[in-house]
Amino acid sequence: MNFLRGVMGGQSAGPQHTEAETIQKLCDRVASSTLLDDRRNAVRALKSLSKKFRLEVGIQAMEHLIHVLQTDRSDSEIIEYALDTLYNIISNDEEEELDDVEEENSTRQSEDLGSQFTEIFTKQPENVTLLLSLLEEFDFHVRLPGVRLLTSLLKQLGPTVQQIILVSPMGVSRLMDLLADSREIIRNDALTRNNGAIQKIVAFENAFERLLDIITEEGNSDGGIVVEDCLILLQNLLKNNNSNQNFFKEGSYIQRMKPWFEVGDENSGWSAQKVTNLHLMLQVGLDEDHELSDGELVRVLVSPTNPPGATSSCQRAMSQCGLLQQLCTILMATGIPADILTETINTVSEVIRGYQVNQDYFASVNAPSNPPRPAIVVLLMSMVNERQPFVLRCAVLYCFQCFLYKNEKGQGEVVATLLPSTIDATGSSISAGQLLCGGLFSTDSLSNWCAAVALAHALQGNATQKEQLLRVQLATNIGNPPVSLLQQCTNILSQLLPEIKWRVVEGLGMALPT
């Protein structure tokens, strides 16, 4: 402690002499008072000073606070004050608004203090073990500050704290008990976020099994807030953790996700909780403040940012267990809220992206209409329909892109619907190519853009289809001879403003075969 006082003393003027004496007197009261009320009041006063005089309180009071945790466990109030005080001196969270220079200096000093106080606290492993034992207390005023303090220690000195937890008797089991806590704020605290080793330990302690059982018992997507909490915890355990993702797949837990999406047609309306649950199951995560983030469940397993082998193995599992088929059923169902439909499209996109078996299956899906229409055609109809929501149209475009990604067979089938030999002369059915051409020359600018980008993906990396596209003929007006698609594009480009015309022409030239 004297060493820390010497190192840090030159960096800050510290508290005035009167405050230093006050802190010393409070520490003496904590150490020597025989009355619990006196000790409790002294610890409460230290807590009130611990943010403003963090250094001095940390230097003088840490040992006394740890002693309080050891000897006064029967009184939840003094334990809460002691844990909060330790959190204030160890955590680097800053609440005051400062200018840029002050903020930079304050943050640097705060990080130095946090790491050094954490090192002092963890130098005695029994301190961490003591904190873990306090997590057994069900009292909210003990368990919550205990979780917050442990989380702060993990952020400051993760590997050291994780190792102590691993060798501590019942250490991991005590963490697992938090998953069963009925209080949302404790279950959803940041304990499992960004701590890969803890995530892995928790996962191998049957966390997936326990959480999936709870979701099933609560009614899957029809469940309440408990289902939402379990889904958030699953996200914390899976996100950016390839080891846990592989364990989730190898443990056959992907198969248990299929019932989540057995929603059917619900024309009577969806509850807000059901919409939230489906969002979490499909794509959207919520942080601790319930703001939208980039968390995900199905999509986290097949994200394009995952290692290719991990993604393809999850895509295969989702196909084999029928999860992809269930998602496609939602795509073609009626009564699905627009936002859930949008997220389902995005999810299907990444389940099929670059995986030929799934792409082939998607190409075979038909909408339950009379006569049946391919799902791809139905989706493209929405994409070029200016009355559809913007996010839905963009989701369809992304789905079309994923369907064609590394899919020469699919690219050829799309371009073939543009060629004269394949066009239905009776006009009884509409093809993907006709919809793309219609969007390309629509008066709606978003349809123009979506169709152009979609058509570009049908040609990307495929010289054969670029050559085939030159054969496409369009009937522009009744009585006029047909013109090539390239000629029609050129006619439209000639009407653009001069300052952008050549940029477009340059881009078109790069896309055409040499």
DSSP string, 362-422: HHH-EES-SS-EEHHHHHHHHHT-TTS-HHHHHHHHHHHHHHHTT-HHHHHHHHHTTSGGG
Half-sphere exposure of 188 (CA within 13 A, CB side): 18
Which alpha helices (DSSP H) does 72-183 contain, by range?
A: 76-90, 100-123, 125-134, 140-167, 171-177
Q: 240: buried, middle or exposed (CB in 10 Å: 19+, 13-18, 0-12)?
A: middle
On the question of a cis peptide bond just before residue 371, with omega within 30 degrees of 0, the verdict is yes
Q: What is the rounded CA–CA span in Å between residue 382 and residue 223? A: 31
What the chain holds in terms of domains, given with CATH numbers, is: 1-169 (1.25.10.10), 173-364 (1.25.10.10), 395-514 (1.25.10.10)
| Cα-based torsion angle of the residue sequence 181, 183, 184, 185 in order, rounded to the nearest 10 degrees | -100
Q: What is the rounded CA–CA span in Å between residue 210 and residue 230? A: 9
Per-residue pLDDT of the chain (514 residues; tens, 9 = 90+): 544 444 444 444 455 568 889 999 999 999 999 999 999 999 999 999 999 999 999 999 999 999 999 999 999 999 999 999 999 999 886 544 444 444 455 555 666 788 899 999 999 999 999 999 998 888 999 999 998 898 889 888 877 887 888 788 777 777 767 766 767 677 555 455 555 656 666 777 778 888 899 899 989 988 888 888 788 778 878 877 788 888 898 889 999 999 999 876 555 578 888 888 998 898 533 333 333 334 457 888 898 888 888 899 999 999 999 999 999 999 998 888 888 999 999 999 999 999 999 999 999 999 988 888 999 999 999 999 999 999 999 999 999 999 999 999 999 999 999 887 655 554 457 899 989 988 988 888 899 899 999 999 999 999 999 899 888 888 767 777 888 888 877 777 776 655 555 555 555 555 555 5
3-state helix, strand, coil in the chain (%, to 5): 70, 0, 30
Q: 463: buried, middle or exposed (CB in 10 Å: 19+, 13-18, 0-12)?
A: exposed
Q: What is the rounded CA–CA span in Å between residue 108 and residue 266? A: 55
